[in-house]
Amino acid sequence: MRKLAVCIVALSLLLGYGCSNNDVIHVSGTVDNPGNVKVVAFYEGERKLDSVFLADGNKFKFERAATQPRLLSVAIGNNKYPVILTPGEKLTLRADMHDPENYVVEGSELSSALQEFAPYKRRKDFVQDSLQAAFAKATTNRTANEIESLRMDYLTSFKEKLADYTQQVVAFANQHQNLAGFYAISTLDPEVAEAEILAYADEIKDKFTENRYVSQFKEEAEKLKKLAVGQPAPDFESYTPNNKAVRLADFKGKYTLIDFWASWCAPCRQENPNIVKQYHAFKDKGFTVLGVSLDNNPGSWMRAIESDKLEWTQVSDLQAWSSDLVTTYRITAIPTSYLVDPEGKIVAKNLRGKELEDFLQKTLN
């Protein structure tokens, strides 16, 4: 019986009823001067799909059944090479670890397009790493206030540099209305390019519908859209230290800074003097603050309010990171803030230091 089954399988393959090359994604290649590199890994997003050892001649090969193009990264040492593997195409990649940036891809127009885009991303990564290193060096032996001032300078420069990168990405995506363009958009930072990400997600809402990576992008864009500039801030109810119920809707009619903070959060406490300053400067011009604490200790929370002279309304459910608001407002770190207009729509996010002052000056004066 087993022999008969084997024969049937063999016959079906001969007759073409098995998986064809059109149902397989494939990449093979060579790593010149590999040094200590022994393994080549393959990622889809942050998820590692597989890895293979370098064979004789420093060659590698990866195959997997697939019915649609897959956007992967080929990781060789500290270098990652983006590729788009389309079923039926045989992509080859050659990289030299003595000159890792100048790699060669053949057999895939989409992967060749990604190679055109690679210098932009390398430049962005270089600028980002350089700014972070410069910031770390500059903050050595500085006071908390000096560090916060330097942080604002760093963020301003970072946003300016990323604004240039955003323009390059959008131009590339307009020229490549395929998965190569999608890859470029997926590298954007939502903090800097929220509008561009949302516009692109809307543009491809009916495209690449079977691609898991694209579907994840669309899902995240939908979540991002709910808290995007121009959207109504989600209403919520919480309680003051005196156990009085307060709703965000109670603040309509004023520009309101929803400030997520906590007594134990050092950057939050360092920003509080600036918020105090802006509150007193603009509270009679239609501006107020709603502090939302992620504390779980009522004593620590109330002592911080008194110590930092936070005179505006403060609320908390004392659930810390288990608070429903962490999910509702997609909070991954604090301080986080949303500035809403008198109608309750989000007009800005995470304005700190001089950025908050400049916005209020421009809007309320």
Closest CA to 185 of 207, 206, 168, 205: 168
3-state secondary structure of 50: strand
Residues 94, 32 contacting (CB under 8 angstroms): yes
Residues 84, 183 contacting (CB under 8 angstroms): yes
Using a cut of 0.85, tell me whether the model's pTM lies above it: no
Band (301; pLDDT cuts 50, 70, 90) = very high
Band (21; pLDDT cuts 50, 70, 90) = low
pLDDT in tens, 185-219: 999 988 889 999 999 999 999 998 878 888 989 99
Segment 101-126 mean pLDDT: 92
Measured between alpha carbons, how far is 304 from 16 in angstroms, rounded to an integer? Answer: 73
The answer to whether residue 6 scores a pLDDT higher than 60 is: no
Average pLDDT over the chain reads: 89
Dihedral sign (CA 267, 269, 273, 275): positive
Segment 176-183 mean pLDDT: 94
CB atoms within 10 A of CB 194: 19
Segment 341-362 mean pLDDT: 94
Tell me the angle at which helices 179-186 and 190-203 cross, rounded to the nearest 10 degrees: 150
Which fold is adopted by the domain 17-107? Immunoglobulin-like (2.60.40)
pLDDT in tens, 247-256: 999 999 999 9
Measured between alpha carbons, how far is 163 from 331 in angstroms, rounded to an integer? Answer: 23
* Secondary structure element (H or E) that encloses residue 238, with its range: strand 237-239
Q: Classify residue 313 by burial, with Cβ atoms within 10 Å: 0-12, 13-18, 19+.
A: middle
186 DSSP β-pair partners: none
pLDDT in tens, 135-147: 888 888 887 767 7
CB atoms within 10 A of CB 177: 12
pLDDT of residue 254: 97
The answer to whether residue 363 scores a pLDDT higher than 50 is: yes
Domain boundaries, the chain: 17-107, 116-226, 237-364
Q: Which amino acid appears at position 38 of this protein?
A: K
The answer to whether residue 20 scores a pLDDT higher than 70 is: no
CATH architecture of 237-364: 3-Layer(aba) Sandwich (3.40)
